[in-house]
Amino acid sequence: MSDTVVVGLDVGGTSTRALAVTLAGERLGTGRAGGGNPTSHGAQRAAAELLTALRAALSGVDPARVRAGTIGLAGAGRLLADPAGRAAFDGAWRDAGLRCPYAVHGDALVAYASGTPSAHGTVLIAGTGAIAAQVRNLRLDRVADGHGWLLGDAGSGFWLGREAVRRLLADLDAGHAPGPLGRRVLAELLGVDRLADRLRDTVDAVVQAVTRRPPVELSQLAPLVVAAADEAEPVAAGLIGAAAGHLADSAARIRPAGAVDPVVLGGGLLT
């Protein structure tokens, strides 16, 4: 057993991370790739990112030593219910040289286990998406949000990016020059923060820049909001406050009042 290696992957909408480790906890390799969530990016692209991260983590490891693997994935149930998606992931696993089984778990449970050994507690994740879950006996019990960008993920990186664009468009519709956050968003989307002589032309350009991209890419604007809030920019600070309120509300839906067990925070936005 001393020669045994296990592999773990954290698959999100923005990035995919892989780790190869011995049972004694020795880290043998890590890998990183682009977003690998099949719901956001499609099964084939997600599997390709999975393979890239796996190959990097296993670059100095004999794949025959790997006896088991775990994939933490937002929307794990959707992957498990989709034969084509599962086949794409199976293919990436084999292409990395792995012949051992792997398990797929929701990212919320994996994030919780990474933060505490307690069998009971709460996990709150805000990255590209957002979800809160109550854990009982190391299994997800009650879950709030995690509904995806179209129906939920309130307070997530996607939510922040979308709201920043909405505020920019509202200013332009009202004939107002955008503030500091709006100009940062404008520069990120269009390459310049200069307004057209006819403000509606700028509005149209912003809308086209957003709709030409996959919706999940709005999450890439979240760091602009965070940076502006750190500088006390009022619109950005208001959005951060609203996002925090949404996340707290999600946690409150599933965490019993007066609970004293651990709360684990996960996701790039929170951590």
What pLDDT tens digit does each residue of the chain (271 aa) get? 568 999 999 887 778 999 999 999 999 999 999 887 777 777 888 889 999 999 999 999 999 999 999 998 876 777 777 888 889 899 999 999 999 999 988 888 988 998 999 999 999 999 999 999 999 999 999 999 999 899 999 999 999 999 999 999 999 999 999 999 999 999 999 999 999 999 999 999 999 999 999 998 999 999 999 999 999 999 999 999 999 999 999 999 999 999 999 999 998 898 8
Model's pTM, two decimal places?
Answer: 0.77
Give the Å distances, CA to CA, from 43 to 34, 92, 128, 133, 214. 13, 11, 18, 25, 15
Q: How far apart are CA 49 and CA 98, in angstroms?
A: 16
Report the C-alpha gap between 179 and 23 in whole angstroms: 53
pLDDT (0 to 100) of residue 73: 85
Residue 258, classified by CB atoms within 10 Å of its CB into exposed (0-12), middle (13-18) or buried (19+), is exposed
CA distance 260 to 194: 51
Percentages helix, strand, coil for the chain, rounded to the nearest 5?
Answer: 45, 20, 30
Q: What pLDDT score was predicted for residue 195?
A: 94
Tokens representing 46 are 């997600």
Q: Residue 76's pLDDT is what?
A: 76
User: Looking at residue 1, what is its pLDDT?
Assistant: 54
Output the pLDDT for position 15. Answer: 86
Q: Measured between alpha carbons, how far is 124 from 265 in angstroms, rounded to an integer?
A: 5
* Sign of the alpha-carbon dihedral angle for 113, 117, 123, 127: negative
Spell 78-113 as b/e; 16+ CB within 10 A means b: ebeebeebbebbebbbeebebebebebbbbbbbbbb
Q: What is the SS3 assignment for 32?
A: strand
Cα 92 from Cα 36, distance rounded (Å): 12
Per-residue model confidence (pLDDT) at position 66: 96
Residue 97: partners with Cβ closer than 8 Å, 6 or more residues away:
58, 63, 64
